[in-house]
Structure 1
């Protein structure tokens, strides 16, 4: 069997796990692939390298793939996603100082997203009255699930991101340092960076993404749209390897080994125990609070990998809420076309013997 070489870019996040497992556990090799994984420093780098074919495929923010396909954000790069890579797994974290201020202003259960948003609105109003600069929140890219989750949270307190609260883009691995330095007051990002901020003693987790939206669309396996048509064998082989990795990743007895793979210096470069706790859904919250247990905090199961065109509607609604786009029926059709459920079903049916966990 001829071995096919694929160069795939990824960002250091827990949700790159299925690509890492496809390589490190031999699932890609079993499909006749030599999988080269390349760690990137920003989502824009990853998108651009996929566009110019320095990468064959990429671990990609679903909204970034839609934005590139629509040609908003400065780059026109039609993309397609025959598989998703996860659902859920993000969180909102504030600096310890801002969390303490929020706690003092809270008039209900801070674990309730509406109550915490009202407390945040009170903090914003107090700072405005005192002539202090607005708070600055960050997300990992200009078009990401994380921005839209932040907007949903702020709306509960009558606040608007970019107006009442400043917005800044900070790539995931830089969020902890940005919070520690005071450059930002809070951020929304995927695991493990919220936990890393808490472990470093600089942040307190306010909400997990599941508090705002359960089964939330997140990362996809993105290809150039023309390559999905031009290279069906490569798409199918990598898809099959990821499906096998998904079945393996859903078994709790494998979490320890999975965390070891992810903690490697050329992967996430963080302590294995920190990552393993996240896989078990045990989240450290900071601010002298006990850990929080969230079952299926991040989903890698087969249904989570199914690309759902309805997710494009939620992304477009988020883009509109953030003032990034005015959706039209044509735009909606293009956005929905980024997700390829028929390709997923084809890969799945060709490997129907895979167990479902």
Structure 2
């Protein structure tokens, strides 16, 4: 018997695994029929999930934590047993603003710490307090942007204006002069560059290599009541993710995503992020970013609890939630490696033996213990060299200067 599932998503490259699961038959092979519900804003997607209009959602990882903690509305427990991808974001700024930065865009992107200091100096030269679009207050993009700005002494709550708008509206907002730049998932940064409106200033992949991004989110109670359906969906997604990560499939994937039902942007624009060939300034050649987006390799989908706790640490740092053991436990519990292991136990998928790790400690490929197959983790360094030990959150937070 076929099980029908409604899953909300936003038009972004990192919805790829869901789209491939539907279009390439991986879901059908598990007895599932996926109804992918295109949504404009993260707030609408959140409400569709929380109020039961959909069964699951392609969700910002920090938003899943925030909803569970009751930061964006009445608390509603969310469970995320699968990551849909890592990396994939770009910070782009108006070309005139970028003139005050390192002119070599490849060098600029390669050294985000220096770029942050250049950005801090450029703020004083700009015609107004820079207005930077973020897709949601509780997004990995916004948290990484805050972290990056603060490294150069910029107070993201005082020295710039962060304006929330849906990713698909960012380019038009730049064209209308409503924002001076934005940080968002692809292909929207590339679309702004292609239109000659902006240049790339930094990429998420260089701010936090293998930084957590979108998750597959369920209402916790629904997930617990439907274990067989959840397991079948995760198996379908694991197969789809492996297909998406194969370079031989990137052209076909870009064509698939370009469909009006999904991203509705040119396939060649979408393909840039998938293939790691980033055009940072209109008219120039691409810059190779082989790890710009990951879907399957290096156990990308595994929901490390330590990454949920890093998100929590940033919410605490920016006074979005009080720091207490109960909140930390709830935040860490949003990511569900136990469900991931149960669902994929019989697949040929490398399975981490631990559920937490020290984030930012790997600077070269590292073989780690795995319950199935060989597993190599790629570099996960933060741009400033800090590490996050999930068992020492207080010490981590104490290492940052307080906001001015």
TM superposition score category, shorter chain reference: over 0.9
Contact 1:136/1:166, CA 8 A, preserved across alignment: yes
Q: CA RMSD in A?
A: 1.9
Secondary structure in 1 matching 2:124: helix
Q: How many angstroms apart in 1 are the aligned matches of 2:224 and 2:349?
A: 26
1:110 equivalent in structure 2: 108
Contact 1:312/1:332, CA 8 A, preserved across alignment: no
1:349 equivalent in structure 2: 345
Contact 1:83/1:220, CA 8 A, preserved across alignment: yes
Q: 1:173-184 alignment to 2 at 5 Å?
A: 173-184=168-179
Q: How many angstroms apart in 1 are the aligned matches of 2:309 and 2:198?
A: 33
Superposed CA offset, 1:300-325 (max 9, x none):
01511000100012101221233312
2:250 equivalent in structure 1: 255
Of stretches 314-323 and 153-162 in structure 1, the one that deviates more from structure 2 is 314-323
Secondary structure in 2 matching 1:207: strand
Q: How many angstroms apart in 1 are the aligned matches of 2:245 and 2:130?
A: 39
Does residue 279 (structure 1) correspond to residue 277 (structure 2)? The answer is no
Q: How many angstroms apart in 2 are the aligned matches of 1:95 and 1:88?
A: 22
Contact 1:95/1:180, CA 8 A, preserved across alignment: no
Q: How many angstroms apart in 2 are the aligned matches of 1:19 and 1:213?
A: 24
Contact 2:231/2:344, CA 8 A, preserved across alignment: no
Contact 1:139/1:187, CA 8 A, preserved across alignment: yes
Q: 1:182-331 alignment to 2 at 5 Å?
A: 182-286=177-281, 289-302=284-297, 303-331=299-327
Contact 1:246/1:301, CA 8 A, preserved across alignment: yes
Deviation, 1:287, is 5.3
Q: How many angstroms apart in 2 are the aligned matches of 1:232 and 1:245?
A: 20
Q: How many angstroms apart in 2 are the aligned matches of 1:279 and 1:236?
A: 27
Q: 1:133-212 alignment to 2 at 5 Å?
A: 133-212=128-207
Contact 1:87/1:216, CA 8 A, preserved across alignment: yes
Q: How many angstroms apart in 2 are the aligned matches of 1:350 and 1:227?
A: 23
1:91 equivalent in structure 2: 90
Alpha-carbon spacing, 1:342–1:185, altered in 2? closer, same or farther (3 Å) = same
Q: How many angstroms apart in 2 are the aligned matches of 1:123 and 1:261?
A: 40
Q: How many angstroms apart in 1 are the aligned matches of 2:8 and 2:46?
A: 9
Q: 1:73-88 alignment to 2 at 5 Å?
A: 73-88=72-87
2:2 equivalent in structure 1: 3
**Bigger helix fraction:** 1
1:47 equivalent in structure 2: 46
Deviation, 1:133, is 3.2
TM-score by length of 1: 0.93
Contact 1:113/1:156, CA 8 A, preserved across alignment: no
Q: How many angstroms apart in 2 are the aligned matches of 1:45 and 1:231?
A: 24
Of stretches 315-324 and 305-314 in structure 1, the one that deviates more from structure 2 is 315-324
Q: How many angstroms apart in 1 are the aligned matches of 2:120 and 2:209?
A: 24
TM-score by length of 2: 0.83
Deviation, 1:181, is 1.5
Deviation, 1:125, is 3.0
Superposed CA offset, 1:67-106 (max 9, x none):
00000122422100111100111111101111123347x9
Matched length: 349
Q: How many angstroms apart in 2 are the aligned matches of 1:195 and 1:250?
A: 20
Q: How many angstroms apart in 2 are the aligned matches of 1:46 and 1:356?
A: 36
Structure 2: stretches of 5+ with no match in the other structure? 351-372, 376-404
Q: 1:1-40 alignment to 2 at 5 Å?
A: 2-40=1-39
Q: Which one scores higher on RCO, CA 8 angstroms, separation ≥ 6?
A: 1
Of stretches 166-175 and 278-287 in structure 1, the one that deviates more from structure 2 is 278-287
Contact 2:67/2:76, CA 8 A, preserved across alignment: yes
Contact 1:56/1:223, CA 8 A, preserved across alignment: yes
Deviation, 1:51, is 0.8
Deviation, 1:290, is 3.0
Secondary structure in 2 matching 1:101: coil
Contact 2:258/2:267, CA 8 A, preserved across alignment: yes
Q: How many angstroms apart in 1 are the aligned matches of 2:295 and 2:51?
A: 29
